[in-house]
């Protein structure tokens, strides 16, 4: 069945470091891919999405490119800030079916 | 964008009891979703609730255990019935605006069963 596999955390980075959180997927069709973020004490928020191969989603300095050849959707940010500390979830959607990864906790230290 | 209020935010319950979780949205939405996040695991969809129709449950979830109400376009409840320690999880409400993925989530209800 469809699924996503997400890099395990926790991840701790210094401010201004480069961030990569890996996400790979398994799907029988042509899914859309998403990254959600959950800041401490808050609900999940949609961070970015890509609906077809080679699409790049971007928001708040974060980027992820839908790579069909490697079945990946890695999240990247060139320079993280303390305010980026949160849990990040990769997700796959086909129609109204959505599958979430287990989440990766990121802590950015000053 | 939609703002979701979910309550209670947390509760500790006795085995065998039931708890109803409420989800209020500040705008009218067609589809509302209920998810469960067990400790250390990803989110799992319990059911999809459309106003005016029976909720659609995912494999492994049944109405007798997780009855859902959707009386209008801004409100839904999920009841966790006859609770056991295995039901200890975070339960989240989510809404979809237009078509596409769930875009907005409530803060979740952290449920612990003794």
pLDDT digits (tens, 9 = 90+) for B28-44: 988 899 999 888 778 89
CB-based contact B108 A43, cutoff 8 Å: yes
Q: Which of left, alpha, beta for A89 (phi over 0: left; psi -120 to 50: alpha)?
A: beta
In angstroms, the CA A86 to CA A107 distance is: 7
The tens digit of pLDDT for each residue in B46-55 reads 999 988 888 9
Residue whose pair of structure tokens reads 């928001």 in the numeric block: A59
Closest CA in chain B for residue A9? B40
CB-based contact A102 B41, cutoff 8 Å: yes
Q: Give the pLDDT of residue A13.
A: 97
Q: Is A69 on the interface with B (CB under 8 A)?
A: no
Beta strands in B27-86 (DSSP E): 31-37, 43-50, 56-57, 68-72, 75-80
Which residues in chain A touch residue B4, judged by CB atoms under 8 angstroms apart? 43
In angstroms, the CA A4 to CA A27 distance is: 9
Q: Give the pLDDT of residue B39.
A: 80
Structure tokens at A19: 């961030």
Q: Are B17 and B11 in contact (CB under 8 A)?
A: no
How many percent of chain A have pLDDT more than 70?
Answer: 98
Q: How confident is the model at residue A78 (pLDDT cuts 50, 70, 90)?
A: very high
CB-based contact A89 B43, cutoff 8 Å: yes
Q: Are A37 and B86 in contact (CB under 8 A)?
A: no
**CB–CB contacts below 8 A, A to B:** 46
| Residue B10 half-sphere exposure toward CB, CA atoms < 13 A | 4
Looking at the predicted structure, is the pLDDT value of residue A14 above 90?
yes
Output the average pLDDT for chain A: 92
Looking at the predicted structure, is the pLDDT value of residue A30 above 90?
no
């Amino acid at each position: 069945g469809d699924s996503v596999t997400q890099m395990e955390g926790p991840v701790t980075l210094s401010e201004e470091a480069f961030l990569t959180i890996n996400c790979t997927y398994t799907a029988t069709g042509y899914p859309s891919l998403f990254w959600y973020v959950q800041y401490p004490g808050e609900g999940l928020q949609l961070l970015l999405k890509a609906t077809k191969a080679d699409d790049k989603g971007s928001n708040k300095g974060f980027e992820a490119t839908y790579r069909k050849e490697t079945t990946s959707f890695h999240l990247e940010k060139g320079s993280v800030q303390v305010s980026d500390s949160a849990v990040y979830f990769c997700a796959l959607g086909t129609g109204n079916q959505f599958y979430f990864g287990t989440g990766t906790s990121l802590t950015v230290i000053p | 964008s939609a703002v979701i209020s979910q309550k209670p935010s947390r509760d500790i319950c006795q085995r065998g009891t039931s708890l109803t979780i409420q989800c209020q949205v500040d705008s009218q939405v067609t589809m509302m979703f209920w998810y469960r996040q067990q400790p250390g695991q990803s989110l799992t969809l319990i059911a999809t609730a459309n106003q005016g129709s029976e909720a659609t449950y995912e494999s492994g979830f049944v109405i007798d255990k997780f009855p859902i109400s959707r009386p209008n376009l801004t409100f839904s409840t999920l009841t966790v019935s006859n609770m056991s320690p295995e039901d200890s999880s975070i339960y989240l409400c989510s809404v979809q605006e237009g078509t596409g993925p769930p875009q907005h989530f409530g803060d979740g209800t952290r449920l612990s069963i003794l």
